[in-house]
């Protein structure tokens, strides 16, 4: 019997409740969901890749079919190495769509056997991004309800 494996890639700097919404829904759809933390050397993330992966492992523990991993380089190369069949991507607004559409078409060109599956987050998370969470936290605003409690504590220790 064939097992359907999907990769949910991202920087997750930090993981938000919007990410967790997609992870929970992706875990119901796919036999296995690999949350792949991008190690992008061109960016200066607030949390290291190892810290982001550790937080994700902690907050995704309830889903037995979810795995957290690190990757760099081309996403399709990582997808091939993991024998995955799909890439899961979230789209919050029309502004996300254009970029995600271009990436999906390029990924299809590079690896025609892998499908990109787009999901919209729950309405209450449609405006939420890691960047906004970081900015609010750095300016001393409340991020309660936007990220898991573990992430609230880690952000407080990083920005204060």
Active-site residue, 130 included = yes
**Per the residue annotation, which of 25, 82, 92, 158 is the catalytic one?**
92
**Per the residue annotation, which of 43, 64, 95, 160 is the catalytic one?**
43
**Per the residue annotation, which of 11, 19, 52, 89 is the catalytic one?**
19
Active-site residue, 124 included = no
Active-site residue, 160 included = no
**Per the residue annotation, which of 11, 85, 130, 134 is the catalytic one?**
130
Inter-residue contact 59 to 148 (CB < 8 Å): yes
Active-site residue, 92 included = yes
Residues annotated as part of the active site = 19, 43, 92, 130
């Amino acid at each position: 019997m064939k097992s359907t494996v999907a990769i949910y890639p991202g920087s997750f700097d930090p993981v938000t409740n919007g990410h967790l919404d997609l992870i929970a829904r992706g875990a119901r759809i796919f036999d296995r969901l690999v949350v792949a933390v991008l190690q992008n050397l061109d960016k200066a993330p607030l949390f290291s890749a190892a810290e982001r992966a550790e937080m994700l492992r902690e907050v995704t523990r309830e889903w037995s079919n979810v795995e957290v991993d690190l990757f760099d380089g081309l996403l399709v190369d990582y997808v091939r190495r993991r024998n995955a069949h799909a890439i899961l991507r979230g789209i919050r607004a029309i502004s996300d769509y254009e970029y995600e559409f271009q990436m999906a078409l390029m990924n299809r060109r590079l690896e025609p056997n892998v499908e990109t599956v787009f999901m919209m987050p729950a309405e209450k998370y449609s405006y939420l991004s890691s960047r906004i969470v970081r900015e609010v936290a750095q300016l001393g605003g409340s991020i309660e309800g936007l990220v898991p409690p573990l992430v609230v504590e880690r952000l407080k220790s990083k920005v204060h």
